[in-house]
Structure 1
């Protein structure tokens, strides 16, 4: 037997019983989090995330491999030259100090900081990438700021620099560096641009050279050597300031104060003839008095008026403007209330022709193809005519820590508008929206604003026009034009009954696939051959009636090849066999394995998994395939890869294999979307057609030719990333909505969770669609938290329980963090946006390779993921209950047949009773291979005898086994198994080989 001391923890969850109670779970952990530190004022502040590349506490630090304690770290951070208000301990031996919590660190549950201190094993000292933080109660010193203006100098923000300088002139500053000192030095030297870098350096120039452009304000994070309350750039970063009037002198260069290299007697004038078409000179205009008056810059070291106009014509613009002798700007209008300047102010000769006037410092020589120039007013906040229920809140400041007030950022460099931003945030369920730096849109929750340190700033701080709407303001550098949704956008219910978790039994393995058999026992398959346990046999069966006796509850079974990341379903034959296909590598990827459940409650079966790769295999090797029972009783197997992280297997095949040669059909869309389409979602629709969902796409297939009938709209992703995926490895989960007799309503499909490429931010929404509706569209509903690798279980009352997974990462070993410990209930009968209820939480992390399975008594069995450090202990007693009881004589149903049951109700009457049929399924990697199909059939009762009408056809209910539940309100009976539609493909007589037992049809 494959007994091992390292066991998985298997929980049963009662989510729907009216008398459920939350159990008090205790921990085996005896260590303590210090709430106070000695006789000091320091107190525990919480467990926070950390990142070696961007520390949460970035002040002084030290490491002590043998003597670290909470007291020693607090003492280090609060005495001598150190005077910090936060102290944090990590990895049992590292101490960090700071006055601010930086870099987006977030609070997590205190139990995650669980490493004992190296100097005192009775205390916690954080964990890997987690800090136990202590707080002195003091106030931090004033945070440094980017000085917004000095006299006529205004901040343009933070810009990048390099060895090829953005500003060519290095200005001497005799005293300690300050913003005031640098701008004064550049003014004296006759330059309109000043830049401060690396705390001590000052540079001046006429233009920004060598490709310098804006960077996030947080990049300029070094304080001035002469004033620590001001920022003076950073490494290769410049805080740039612009003089908005004329400087008293112009630096050398000739040409009447400009380029061209000529002497002072050169005549400089606008070009009034020889221009293309209807182009002509308009006037000299002031730039930067209230910000740039025209965008779309095209610089040229050999600039002429003709060159600039040609650029603008090529980009289909009607206005051209030249500045500083080398800068060309194009547009269709001037913005920011552009004002006329004296003609003589535009006196700098063009670099390519010193006789042509090319503007001046903050002056533009403007040309137009229409004869007139439209001037848009100085932008103002948009506080009327807003979409939906949005209202303007004012100008808000980002915190000095560099953490964004709202977490989701969209960058629209040319088309940012307030309406577009607000509509995008609302579409994804976010009631707070902020616009920053003209081109950025941020979405989040209203609670994020205060939680991340945002605060109301002077209205004048927000002064940058929107990139797509120049008459309205979209924040500024580190300033947000903030909008809130006036009303409740998401209704997440908090029911009185939130269910409870109970410890069921210790596991033998980390299971990958869990399946409830028609013998009411649960089979578990694991990655045999690559198991964590040397003596594992790869397969086990759990008798739920024996869970109080660990050694009797488990039956050892066997597989012959590695089922790692395979797919399973239950067959419609008389034996209710379970079939498993695919696997890890080599011959296991071709594997076809069959098991006929036997035995009964309390009595061991003797059947085992049957497999022979010399007799029965797939036509293609598959790792991460999906299997589905088709309406004709055949088995559809789709997708996967040729082996672990190998080349794609972008095709489908049928079992039993049709006669003839190779019958595999290639699917080009699986080739194109590999590797983000593994374990695709497959479901039979009431029309008989097949829904397939893969990566962020979906389509409807013909059930005979498998040609595409309809390409559905792409599946929505995250608010700021439409490339988010829903199938492995950006793993979400999917089910069918309930179907009610007479089954005439169009079917809907629900998909929840997923993740994004790159940053791997988990998705916090569910989407649903009526796939066969004309012009079908997705409906998005936000969940209370992010979730990748979720599991979703169909409950007997037609609701769905969502649990397990993580809030960051993707599926795979060690590729996800921040476990999601909460459970949700999704009720499709509630209005859109009000369908989610928040259930109880668990103490057990369930990430990669976890499963959730509906048991015959209505509980949900949760298993899998990595073994845990902390286990609940004590005695757990399932609450006493009075369940509805029923019996049935006929369990082999024909379509549209009528079948009689006798019920025994302990509460209520048959007039309030409900009956549901939950299709047999197998759970792996969040994929419910049956689509979580649930039907509510027609029935009529006389006394305690009820007649149920079976589903009408194989499109509504593909042939197979279902759990029949009777509900007297919220409480389900124990289910009984019925077979619907027989075995039309005669799978019970397949495969006809000596090594396989045939149960018959």
Structure 2
């Protein structure tokens, strides 16, 4: 049998999908579980296609009752055990494929903590509250329901409550920045036994003591030169961590109000592109609270949040915030990068600030932001949910293209009655329009990654590798390949989130519909820190299901 081969030109991403109609693009909502048992305050997708969700341990009983305590003691229906928080799970692992959760053990309180994935897919989790404020925890996904949280014997130098963390280009080294009364940064692991934390004057300068800080959970992004971009309150710097030196101070973002906790806007780094060798780095900051919103909320006055978004290129020598406006004010929201490079803005409220019962007017409609469209046409209002996702809610992009939405608890304990916004345990998925069945003939399917050596090895930086997938139709003239680093999400910020648009060297389609493409791995860990990424093929704006690929050193 003779198979016809069609040699195709590799095309990059475009501003719009040439197979997507102009209407019916609002997406859909799915209810996945009536209860996860545990509030999804912190959420992270693992390369085993499970999602880790956990809350605080100090909020009393959750809604996930245990028959046995994790230390082996039996839980009864007696009044003592019913009120004993150790008879309840405070963390779960959600299996996407079977739509079920299982309980996980937590030994210390990770309330308002941070996290980053290491190169082998282990979640490094840092800080929290009370006895958990200096703790370091690990979760190594295993795929057989036998894995659980492990707590390191080593501890952090400073108490890290409301801190952010970021994986660095150095192999499996993480920086942890800020936190309540912690105006410093430190590394995990330490290079030397005597290494402590480093004072960061920038955090002193941005600390608004009368408004709860407004510089907690600072936005961290890794620039293409290996330096650390830090945004706190309204200001931002570029920090050389090797020299402990600020090498750039950027212009203040225009407008009043604040962007970081408890004002709780959000931020992403826009997709990096092979066409400029991943060198151009642009950050985006959206939403937040009005000046004085935190103290006003304590007096039951809920000020209107911020509508403005700012974009700024942090590389090069000219730096200016380009401002635009969301359809409505927003805070307490999440920003996720979708496979095509658009930004999904989801969850949150229109008035108030972060904190217990501090916000009103839930933002029920997600926004889709298309960075490449003309100014004034970049925002699209999507299908509204009927479930309010306020303080302590989260979201995560899944390999099948859906967006998992969990959490919301603006109370110190699980509270379901006689409050404006009850504790929310329902688990949802938002399904973008392009994942609907009507686009399946354009959707690349059966994606596989072909390794030169053993399948367990990472693809070396700068090396070529091959992907194979099926297309029912001839490829569109807009074909792209994206690699997405899954984040750790909490308190409106998705730490370590990163997308790269990869170079396609060649592409061949056989007559039976199978396509073989040769791609080029990112050039270095400065561009893509070692670890697992979700690889997606995007055909004319319609993405495939993602497959996991590991990039790293030889």
Counterpart position of 1:523: 52
> Any idea what SS the aligned residue of 1:906 has?
coil
The aligned residue for residue 99 of structure 1 is: none
Alpha-carbon distance between aligned partners in 1 of 2:276 and 2:317, rounded to the nearest angstrom: 18
RMSD across aligned C-alpha pairs, in angstroms? 2.5
Q: Quick one: which of 589, 598, 602 aligns to 2:142?
A: 598
Matched, 1:742 2:275: yes
1:895 is aligned to 2:473: no
Structure 1's 19 and 865: CA in aligned 2 closer, same or farther, altered over 3 A?
farther
The answer to whether residue 400 in structure 2 is matched with residue 857 in structure 1 is yes
1:639 and 2:194 matched: no
Structure 2 CA distance for aligned equivalents of residues 978 and 743 of structure 1: 22
Write out per-residue CA displacement over residues 251-276 of structure 1, whole angstroms, 9 at most, x where no aligned residue.
xxxxxxxxxxxxxxxxxxxxxxxxxx
Instruction: Indicate whether 1:652 and 2:185 are aligned.
Output: yes
User: 1:772 Cα deviation (Å)?
Assistant: 2.4
Is 1:756 equivalent to 2:290 in the alignment? Answer: yes
Residue equivalent to 2:65: none
CA distance in structure 1 between the aligned counterparts of 2:240 and 2:128, rounded to whole angstroms: 28
Per the TM alignment, residue 731 of structure 1 is displaced from its structure 2 partner at its CA by 0.5
Q: Give the deviation of 1:872 after TM superposition.
A: 9.9
Tell me what 2:488 maps to: 922
**Cα gap change, 1:802 to 1:894, in 2 (>3 Å):** same
From 563, 575, 579, the counterpart of 2:110: 563
- Cross-structure match for 1:554: 101
- Provide, for residues 565-601 of structure 1, a one-character-per-residue CA deviation record: whole Å limited to 9, x for no partner: 001111112xx1011100011x2000111011111xx
Match of 2:502 in 1: 937
Which residue does the alignment assign to 1:665? Answer: 198
Contact 1:20 1:499 survives alignment (8 Å):
no
Q: Contact 2:370–2:379 at 8 Å: present in 1 too?
A: yes
> Which deviates more from structure 2 when the two are superposed, residues 821-830 or residues 832-841?
832-841
| Contact 2:389/2:408 (<8 A) preserved | yes
* Residues 605, 743 of structure 1: alpha-carbon distance in 2 compared, 3 angstrom cutoff: farther
2:338 to 780, 792, 795: 795
> Is the aligned partner of 1:579 residue 2:124?
yes
**In structure 2, C-alpha distance between the alignment counterparts of 1:912 and 1:880, rounded to whole Å:** 20
CA-CA distance at 1:756 after TM superposition: 1.8
* Match of residue 499 from structure 1: 27
CA-CA distance at 1:733 after TM superposition: 0.7
Cα-to-partner distance string for 1:688-728 (whole Å, 9 max, x where unaligned): 211000111101111312310011111223xxxx2x11111
Asked if 2 retains the 8 angstrom alpha-carbon contact of 1:734 and 1:752, the reply is: yes
Give the drift of 1:889.
2.9
Residues in 2 aligned to 1:19 and 1:807: alpha-carbon distance in whole angstroms = 34
Query: Equivalent residue for 1:609?
Result: 149
Q: Is the partner of 1:611 in helix, strand or coil?
A: strand
Mapped to 2, the partners of 1:911 and 1:900 lie a distance apart of 20
2:519 to 933, 937, 948: 948
Q: Aligned to 1:514, which of 20, 23, 43? A: 43
2:423 paired with 1:884: no
Q: Residues 801-852 of structure 1: CA distance to partner in whole angstroms, max 9, x if unpaired?
A: 0011111111111001111111111111112332111111111111100111
Contact 1:636 1:654 in 2 (8 A): yes
Relative to structure 1, is the Cα distance of residues 953 and 743 closer, same or farther in structure 2, using a 3 angstrom cutoff?
farther
Moved over 3 A (4+): 16-21, 742-745, 866-873, 876-881
Aligned to 2:68: none
In 1, distance between residues paired with 2:28 and 2:108? 38
Q: Deviation per CA, 1:752-807: give whole Å up to 9, x if none.
A: 11112324431001101011232311010111100011111110000010011111
With normalisation by structure 1, the TM-score equals 0.45
Q: Is the 8 A contact 1:764 1:783 kept in 2?
A: yes
Q: 1:537 to 1:982 in 2, by over 3 A?
A: farther
Match of 2:532 in 1: 961
Q: CA deviation at 1:531?
A: 4.3
> What is aligned with 1:62?
none
Q: What are the within-5 Å matches in structure 2 for residues 101-250 of structure 1? A: none
The structure-2 alpha-carbon separation of the partners of 1:513 and 1:561, relative to structure 1 and needing over 3 Å to count, comes to: same
Instruction: For residue 871 of structure 1, report the CA deviation from its aligned partner.
Output: 11
Following the alignment from structure 2 to structure 1, what is the Cα–Cα distance between the partners of residues 249 and 45? Answer: 34
Please give the secondary structure, in 1, of the residue aligned with 2:310. strand
Selected match of 2:316 from 756, 773, 780: 773
Partner of 2:258: 725
Structure 1 residues 906, 958: closer, same or farther in 2, change over 3 A?
A: same
Q: Report the TM-score, using the length of structure 2 for normalisation.
A: 0.80
Give the counterpart of 1:827 among 364, 367, 370. Answer: 370
Q: Is the 8 A contact 2:450 2:468 kept in 1?
A: no
- Cα distance in 1 between the residues matched to 2:425 and 2:90: 24
The secondary structure found in structure 2 opposite 1:616 is strand
1:156-555 equivalence runs, <5 A: 495-506=23-34, 507-533=36-62, 534=85, 535-547=87-99, 553-555=100-102
SS of residue paired to 1:669: helix
Deviation at 1:620, TM superposition (A): 1.0
Match runs of 1:686-697 below 5 Å = 686-697=224-235
SS at match of 1:670: helix
Higher relative strand content: 2
Query: How many angstroms apart in 1 are the aligned matches of 2:284 and 2:112?
Result: 23
The answer on 1:624 being equivalent to 2:162 is yes
Q: How far is 1:20 from its partner?
A: 11
Unaligned runs of 5+ in 2: 1-15, 63-84, 208-212, 294-302, 410-415, 510-514
Secondary structure of 1:742's aligned partner: helix
What SS class does the counterpart of residue 840 from structure 1 fall into? coil
Matched positions, count:
468
Q: 1:19 & 1:566 partners in 2: Cα distance? A: 42
Distance of 2:91 and 2:425 partners within structure 1? 24
| CA displacement at 1:636 relative to structure 2 | 0.5
Partners of 1:531 and 1:540 lie apart in 2 by: 16
Q: Compute the displacement of 1:559 (Å).
A: 1.0
Partner secondary structure for residue 545 of structure 1: coil
- Structure 1 residue 880 displacement after superposition: 3.8
Q: Deviations over 1:589-640 (max 9, x none)?
A: 00111011111xxxx421100014xx22111111011010111131010000
| Residue 112 of structure 1: aligned partner | none
Please give the secondary structure, in 2, of the residue aligned with 1:915: strand
Contact 1:18 1:497 in 2 (8 A): no
Q: 1:20 to 1:523 in 2, by over 3 A?
A: farther
Q: Describe the superposition over 1:432-463 as per-residue Cα deviations: whole angstroms up to 9, x where unpaired.
A: xxxxxxxxxxxxxxxxxxxxxxxxxxxxxxxx
Partners of 2:470 and 2:329 in 1: how far apart?
A: 43
- For 1:666 and 1:915, locate their aligned partners in 2 and report how far apart those are by CA, in whole Å: 41
The answer to whether the 8 A contact 1:789-1:806 is kept is yes
Structure 1's unaligned 5+ residue stretches are: 1-15, 22-493, 548-552, 642-647, 984-1001
- The structure with the larger Rg is 1
Q: CA 1:20/1:835 → structure 2, altered by over 3 Å: closer, same or farther?
A: closer
Q: Could you report, residue by residue, the CA deviation over 1:486-519 in whole angstroms, capped at 9, with x for unpaired residues?
A: xxxxxxxx85311111111122111211111010
